[in-house]
Amino acid sequence: MEQASAYRRLGSFHLTAERARDEKQELMETVLVNEMHSRTNQAIDPTALRAQLRDGALLETRAWLASGWEEGADGRSFPVTNPATGDILARVASLGAAEVEKAIASSALAQRGWQKRTSHERAKLLRAWYDLIMANADDLAFIMTSEQGKPLAEARGEITYAASFVEWFAEEAKRVYGDVMPHPQGDKRIVVIRQPIGVCAAITPWNFPAAMITRKVAPALAAGCSIIVRPADLTPLTALALVVLAERAGIPAGVLQVVCGPSREIGAVLTASPIVRKLSFTGSTEVGRVLMSQSSATIKRLSLELGGNAPFIVFDDADLDAAVEGAMASKYRNSGQTCVCANRFLVQAGIHDRFVDALTRRVQALKVGNGIEPGVQQGPLIQKSACDHLNQLIDDAVSKGARIVTGGKGHPLGGTFFEPTVIADATPAMRLAREELFGPVGPVFRFEDEAEAIAMANDTEYGLAAYLYTRDHGRIWRVGEALEYGMVGLNTGVISNEVAPFGGVKQSGLGREGSRYGIEEYLEIKYLCTQV
């Protein structure tokens, strides 16, 4: 009893401290949004995005190759639009297979020199890149909100998060260790060293257009690898702005390249090339399966961060306020367009109704609008197909007995804005119990006991992230260990950081990003046997 009481006091202390940090962060975000908004005193004019930046050179639309900034062959390009307005922000150079092949060849040449640099030299350049990212964070956030839609405060937070990986792996570059082992024969010695795997490729998504790049690029560069990045067509401007800063930091030509263009064409070249020894992909499980199959012919090493169906479990003894706070952070951040966001709220019968009521009040208070505007907490979805997907899942749920508590349809603002939604009486028979929502829709399921909660949570092909709220110390360990997920948030709805190993199990992916384990994904182990 004394131990349990002490645990509760400790948990209360951490929650109080966390809330204090949240209040401070909220104040800082308010100041940021007001300052950013004062640049224009109105919603951004997408035809003059460069003029809205302190450093207009960060808005780059050409591909970054070993030869420098290049236009697409025959002037090929594709439009990038603002999801809040539908207006075209810019046209970005579109590359084809031949240009990507050249990029691979030049990456191989650059990698030879890069791996010969000392770890301290690589660390110094990464640190310079980190400093430039932080110094230009406001402009980077402005670009991100313009092309992705998330509120400015969230975009600024992502830039800081993205930079943290560059800072972390700048230090990890100096910690690539080997081993010396005793040989079974006395006249021999065993030495184990780690070497860069070689040329790498990264295919990144649109929902976190900065962090998903640095989380892959930073460990690759730290390990001594060169890397080619293919960012999402919907959000290439953030990626290109980051590379402008990488060039300024002194990252050598060819070591980091960015190629934009048709995903299938570029993906096919990257996966088929025997020169590319490692592919890192963040995206859907369906596309991950395709890339895995295409990479099999060349036996590439793969890092795959794929889809999720995260359960958010709330037991009767949970701190209700903390659970709702965690639910808001996990579910409705980035308009619900995150791979680790809560996809299913599993709530025990005794607290179910109170949780639904409290969550609904918070959801109804969310301010929806253009992310550039002060006070906006939820921006648009990335494109119309995302809205159509949510409507289909909601219609299916209602037809099978679900109840819309709030929201449930497109927002009066029109376009790709969607009402923050809470759905009650959800059941495993509904599509939203099995499919990734990727939007601001929170279905609530009822369960009776611990065993049922675990069974419901694990009843999915996915295994990326899960969340658990309870005051019972023993239950935290029992349920936390029983959940078939790569990451579990215990009384917290925010789990991602540069120090922790990010990744899933089952069909949510392979490998880990971030942490001291992240750099291992870009290293090969070599055994040297010495006769003495």
Which residues participate in catalysis according to the annotation? Answer: 305
> Three-class SS of residue 461?
coil
Instruction: Please give the distance of CA 106 from its chain centroid, rounded to a whole number.
Output: 28
| Phi and psi angles of residue 50, each rounded to the nearest 5 degrees, phi first | -60, -35
Dist CA 63 CA 199 (whole Å): 18
- Among residues 181, 169, 121, 198, the alpha carbon closest in space to that of 523 is found at 198
If you write DSSP's letter for every residue of 379-415 in order, what string do you get?
Answer: ---SSHHHHHHHHHHHHHHHHTT-EEEE--SB-TT-T
- Among residues 54, 125, 115, 51, the alpha carbon closest in space to that of 89 is found at 51
| Phi and psi angles of residue 503, each rounded to the nearest 5 degrees, phi first | 165, 170
Neighbours of 182 (CB within 10 A): 9
| Phi and psi angles of residue 495, each rounded to the nearest 5 degrees, phi first | -120, -15
Neighbours of 434 (CB within 10 A): 16
| Phi and psi angles of residue 59, each rounded to the nearest 5 degrees, phi first | -85, 95
Q: Which amino acid is at 327?
A: A
Q: How many CA atoms lie within 13 A of 152 on its CB side?
A: 24
Dist CA 332 CA 19 (whole Å): 18
Longest dimension (CA), the chain: 79
What region, left, alpha or beta, does residue 351 occupy, with left being phi > 0 and alpha being psi -120 to 50 degrees? Answer: alpha
- The answer to whether the CB of 259 falls within 8 A of the CB of 100 is yes
> What share of residues in the chain are helix, strand, coil (percent, to 5)?
50, 20, 30
* Residues recorded for the chain: 532
| Phi and psi angles of residue 530, each rounded to the nearest 5 degrees, phi first | -115, 130
- The answer to whether the CB of 234 falls within 8 A of the CB of 80 is yes
